[in-house]
A and B are shown apart, each in its own frame.
Chain A
Amino acid sequence: MTMKQKKDAPSRLAPAFLNGMCVGRPLVIPFVTAGFPDKWSTPDVVEAMCVAGADMVEIGIPFSDPLADGPTIQHASEVALEGGMTVAGVLEIVESVRMRDDTRDLPIVLMGYFNPLLAYGLESFLDDAKAAGVDGLIIPDVPPEEGREYRAACVERDLSATFLVAPNAPDERIRIVDQFSTHFSYCVTVTGVTGARNEVQVRTLEFLRRMRSLALKPFVVGFGIKEAAHVLELGPHADGVVVGSALIDALSQGKEPATVAAELIAPLRAAAERIASSRE
């Protein structure tokens, strides 16, 4: 394929969200840190998640100072960096994921802090990410005010740029984030950092309802989601559910990707399907 064709390739994101909306269930979106537990396993992890029912995958670019992350993802980033993971290495992972039959059309977004992308060169990074088969980006330390150029550069390449929004956001802020996100926004369940949590707060549900009434674009919800019960509670109020730390925790225990996927992702997908059938 030539660069030109790739540039015009339609994003895999819009169809995925449209499909979710048609069947009436949230997308199941695992998050994995590239290079965790080691440099070689990430494509296998992504493939296993996909086979077990993931609708889309977020791949984390490790950073030395992940200030929006709790201990689990901090640790995963440290391990990945010690194992030699680099920004270019993350793009190679995406390339190899794209060569596999099961994951050829899986929507993939990268989640990473701003500095490593600036060091790579933002424009070249976006070019290379597009060419590798990335569909979009989530940069937790770039709010809309700092994201104008980055957003425009994504739009130019038909990459999605997703901005985050938290329960303490006033309505006006929610509207800004919704407008700024190109395809979908990311709601964090709590004011806080990533990390598996036990209970869903009432406030989170109120926030998601507020989001639903104000947002024009789809949105996913993440931070703290680890089990089917969470999906059943939050899923009806969002277009996707992200599960990160719980997955990293399971991988840390040395389990095979396929086992982790069967134990963790399959039940989340089943929960998402139940939401759809209860709506019929």
Chain B
Amino acid sequence: MTEQPKASPDAHGRFGAFGGRFVPETLMPALFELELAHADAMQDQAFRQELDGLLCDFAGRPTPLYEAPRLAADLGGPRVWLKREDLLHTGAHKINNTIGQALLARRMGKHRVIAETGAGQHGVATATVAARFGLDCTVYMGEEDIQRQRLNVFRMRLLGAEVVPVSSGSRTLKDATNEAIRHWVTNVETTFYILGSVVGPHPYPAMVRDFQSVIGREVREQLAAKGEAPPSLLIACVGGGSNAMGLFADWLDDDVEMIGVEAAGYGLDSGEHAASLCQGQVGVLHGARSYLLQTDDGQVKLAHSISAGLDYPGVGPQHAQLRDSGRVHYTAVTDAEAVEALQLLSGREGIIPALESAHAIAELYKRARAGELPGDARIVVCLSGRGDKDVEAMADYLRNHPNEDIGARP
């Protein structure tokens, strides 16, 4: 095996050649302050107890590790477990992180939080903890995403958050993030930025990973409690990469294969996708050096994915390092493959996954069909979210692609 990268970034927030703090100077004092506050909080027993308590009683942890027999049969007989992050409060893994950051915001005396959101899951998870802790909350969301995730927009409003539509550039997650950063630069002394994935300037990639790493730790405990041997394969979808890092982080030193699945949109050859690790070049966006979809002239390209949560031209810097070291293998599946997988999992297991999570399921089907899934494989899939938010987008898609509709019970 190749030399394993260290799990933590160095003092400058670098994961090898990636990461760092490429931000306007105005944010530097805030990033130093956040780094210290986070390190200090994690040493504080009371903070950790409160975090664990909320993860348990408010968010619903531990989430089940469910063995999926009919999916496994479909895949030709490996063992398959679904880590059910979809059963968390608000419907996705995002809340693991927002609880942690909201506790930090309160500890640092900030009464206002802001967030960017794509699918709206991180926005909802932020609005939820803001309500719980009595913090003012503003969420930046691209106009296109507001259209395709209307349900989540309304949920955020019910939770008392202000949703600010972003009309610049791609009108999706990339520009929502730009706008959130601009707002943070302007209100840095009063506002805490709750970033939603393992992206952005240091310490966010490490901090968000640490808050999400409960996913992989629970998998370890749960398999052991069931008397099961460790898994041979971990698989998760990758947008910014937080659910994947959450699953992988605790296993990086183990002898287990890992796959991150990006969004191939209309296909990797179409040029319209969100597969920054598979097809991007190294660059700097949103405060970190990582892989990035960009033109030859260094302009950031628009990403495309049917799944708003994966529709992002960048990716977290630790994934970039794990890609280059070969520790994790990254691949991509198309919109059509994800749509099919969403329908298959719904019909086989009675679980409607988020379109994001469906990308991980789709990769398993792809491998099984290609004869690349050994019958004795022991697979853990991060089912990062539930599909309620995508029902409308799915209905639209299947109306426009009737021959991809595989019926209620295939």
> What residues of chain A have their CB less than 8 Å away from a CB belonging to chain B?
63-70, 74, 78, 81, 86-87, 113-120, 140-143, 145-146, 163-166, 168-170, 173, 177, 188, 190-193
- Asked whether, in the complex, the Cβ of B283 is within 8 Å of the Cβ of A118, the reply is yes
> Can you list 18 contacts pairing A with B, beta carbon distance less than 8 Å?
A65-B169, A65-B175, A65-B285, A67-B182, A69-B182, A78-B169, A87-B298, A115-B294, A119-B281, A120-B298, A141-B22, A145-B28, A146-B22, A166-B25, A169-B28, A188-B26, A191-B188, A192-B26
Q: In the bound complex, what is the Cα–Cα distance between A113 and B283 (angstroms)? A: 11
Give the residue name and chain of the B residue nearest to A139 (CB): B22
> Is the Cβ of B188 less than 8 Å from the Cβ of A115?
no
The secondary structure that dominates the A interface is: loop
Chain A residues near B20 (CB-CB < 8 A): 145-146
CA distance A142 to B22 in the complex (A): 5
Bound state CA distance, A195 and B185, in angstroms?
13
User: Which of A115, A168, A193 is close to B189, meaning CB atoms less than 8 Å apart?
Assistant: A168
Using Cβ atoms and an 8 Å threshold, which residues of chain A touch B28?
A: 143, 145, 169, 173
A115, B292: Cβ atoms under 8 Å? yes
* CA distance in complex: A74, B179 (Å): 11
By a CB distance below 8 angstroms, the chain A residues around B22 are 114, 141-143, 146
Q: Is the CB of A146 within 8 A of B178?
A: no
A70 touches B182 (CB 8 A): yes
Contacts of B29 in A (CB 8 A): 168-170, 173
In the complex, chain B residues whose CB is within 8 Å of the CB of A190? 186
Q: Other than the known A141-B24, A169-B29, what 15 A-B pairs have Cβ atoms closer than 8 Å?
A: A64-B299, A65-B174, A65-B300, A68-B24, A116-B299, A119-B283, A119-B295, A119-B298, A146-B20, A164-B24, A164-B25, A168-B26, A177-B25, A191-B187, A192-B185
- Let me know if A116 and B298 touch, CB within 8 A: yes
Q: Complex formed: what's the CA distance from A169 to B178 in Å?
A: 22
Tell me the complex Cα distance, A55–B292, Å. Answer: 38
Q: Considering only CB atoms, which chain A residue lies closest to B28 in the complex? A: A143
Closest-by-CB residue of A relative to B29 is A168
Alpha-carbon distance A190/B182, docked complex (angstroms): 13
Question: How many angstroms between the C-alpha atoms of A165 and B26 in the bound complex?
Answer: 7
- From B12, B25, B181, B294, A67 is in contact (CB under 8 Å) with B181
Residue among A63, A114, A141, A192 with the most chain B CB within 10 A? A141
Q: How far is the CB of B21 from chain A (nearest CB, A)?
A: 6
Tell me the smallest distance from the CB of B254 to a CB of chain A, in Å. 33
Query: What's the least CB distance linking B391 to chain A, in Å?
Result: 32
Closest B residue by C-beta to A164: B25
CB pair A140 B294 closer than 8 Å: no
Determine if A192 and B189 form an interchain contact, defined as CB atoms under 8 angstroms apart.
no
Within the assembled complex, what's the spacing in Å between the Cα atoms of A164 and B168? 25
- Count chain B CB atoms within 10 A of each CB in A87, A115, A165, A188 and give the residue with the most: A115
Interface size class of B (residues with CB under 8 A): 35 or more
Tell me the nearest residue of chain B to A163, going by C-beta: B25
Q: Is B269 an interface residue (CB 8 A)?
A: no
List chain B residues, Cβ under 8 A from A164.
24-26
> In the bound complex, how far is the Cα of B21 from the Cα of A19, in angstroms?
36
Q: A140: which B residues are within 8 A, CB to CB?
A: 24-25
In the complex, what distance in Å separates the CA atom of A190 from the CA atom of B185? 9
Given A65-B300, A86-B297, A168-B26, A191-B186 contact (CB < 8 Å): yes
B329 beta carbon closer than 8 Å to chain A: no
Residues in chain B near residue A66, CB distance under 8 A? 178
Interface residues of B (CB under 8 A from A): 12, 20-26, 28-30, 168-169, 174-175, 178, 181-182, 185-189, 281-287, 292, 294-300
- Residue among A68, A78, A118 making CB contact with B298, cutoff 8 Å: A118
A64:B300 contact, CB within 8 angstroms: yes
How distant is the Cα of A113 from the Cα of B174 in the complex, in angstroms? 16
With a cutoff of 8 Å between Cβ atoms, the chain A residues found around residue B284 in the complex are 113-115, 118, 141
Given contacts A70-B182, A168-B189, contact A119 B294 (CB under 8 A): yes
Select from chain B the residue with minimum beta-carbon distance to A113.
B284
Task: Tell whether, in the assembled complex, residue B24 and residue A67 are in contact, meaning their CB atoms are under 8 Å apart.
Answer: yes
The answer on a CB contact under 8 Å between A191 and B26 is yes
CB-based contact B182/A141 at 8 Å: no
Among A74, A143, A191, A193, which residue has its beta carbon within 8 angstroms of that of B168? A74
- Chain A residues with Cβ under 8 A from B26's Cβ? 164, 166, 168, 188, 191-192
Q: Which residue of B lies closest to A68 (CB)?
A: B24
User: Within the assembled complex, what's the spacing in Å between the Cα atoms of A248 and B178?
Assistant: 21
Q: Once bound together, how far apart are the Cα atoms of A156 and B162, in whole Å?
A: 50
> Which residue of A is nearest B14, CB measured?
A146
A-side contacts of B21, CB under 8 Å: 143, 145-146
A173 to B175, CA, bound (A): 30
- The answer to whether B182 touches A169, judged by C-beta atoms less than 8 angstroms apart, is no
Question: Complex: how many Å from CA A63 to CA B300?
Answer: 8
Write out the residue numbers on chain A whose beta carbons fall within 8 Å of the beta carbon of B178: 65-67
User: In the assembly, what is the distance between CA of A191 and CA of B181, in Å?
Assistant: 12
Bound form: Cα–Cα A177–B26 in Å: 12
A165 to B27: give the CA distance in the assembly, Å.
10
C-alpha spacing A80/B267, complex, angstroms: 30
Question: In the complex, which residues of chain A have a beta carbon less than 8 angstroms from the beta carbon of B295?
Answer: 119
Cross-interface CB contact of A119 among B24, B25, B296, cutoff 8 Å: B296
Interchain CB contact under 8 A, B169 and A115: no
Residue of chain A at shortest CB distance from B24: A68
> Nearest residue in A to B189 (C-beta to C-beta)?
A168
A193 x B298 contact (CB < 8 A): no
**Cβ of A168 and Cβ of B286 under 8 Å apart?**
no
A67 to B29, CA, bound (A): 17
Contacts of A143 on B, CB cut-off 8 Å? 21-25, 28
List chain B residues, Cβ under 8 A from A78.
Answer: 168-169
Contact of B25 among A69, A86, A120, A165 (CB under 8 A): A165
What is the CA–CA distance of A162 and B113 in the complex, to the nearest angstrom?
Answer: 32
Residues of chain A lying within 8 A (CB to CB) of residue B174: 65
- Rounded to whole angstroms, the CA-CA distance of A74 and B182 in the bound complex is 12
Given the complex of chains A and B, what is the CA–CA distance between A64 and B21 in angstroms? 19
For A120, the chain B residues whose CB sits under 8 A away are 297-298
Choose among B30, B185, B283, B296 the residue that contacts A68 (Cβ–Cβ < 8 A). Answer: B185
CA distance A169 to B189 in the complex (A): 11
Q: Which residues of the partner chain B approach A63 to less than 8 Å between Cβ atoms?
A: 298-299
Residue pair A141, B23 in contact (C-beta under 8 Å): yes
Known: A115-B283, A119-B294, A168-B189. A145 touches B299 (CB 8 A): no
